[in-house]
Amino acid sequence: MALIPAQAVQAYAAAGNIGGAGLEPRTGSGTGFADLVKSAASDTIKTLQQGEAASAAAVAGSGNLTEVVTAVSNAEAALQTVVAVRDKVIQAYQDILKMPI
């Protein structure tokens, strides 16, 4: 597929006309950082509970093995993400403490 320079220019101009999302002043109606953290925490808790429920169903003998493995893998990934974020927050806090006054 050959790229024609005129098409590239038109595509670049069209991309520039999309709009300045993020450049408008904030009205305060959006969600804040605390809401973002609450939402992420509740999603993680829900994922962990689904993994636990799938594991319990498998132990009881009523769970599908594929669903159990998928739910446990999702729960493990969510837990690893939480641990990584926690480690970054602790490291940032320690870096702030080391800053000279």
d(CA 68, CA 75): 10
Domain boundaries, the chain: 31-98
**Average pLDDT, stretch 32-45?**
86
**pTM of the full predicted structure?**
0.59
In the DSSP assignment, the letter for residue 4 is P
First to last CA, the chain: 59
Residue 36, Ramachandran bin (φ over 0: left; ψ between -120 and 50: alpha; else beta): alpha
Q: What's the pLDDT tens digit per position in 6-34?
A: 776 677 666 666 555 555 656 665 678 78
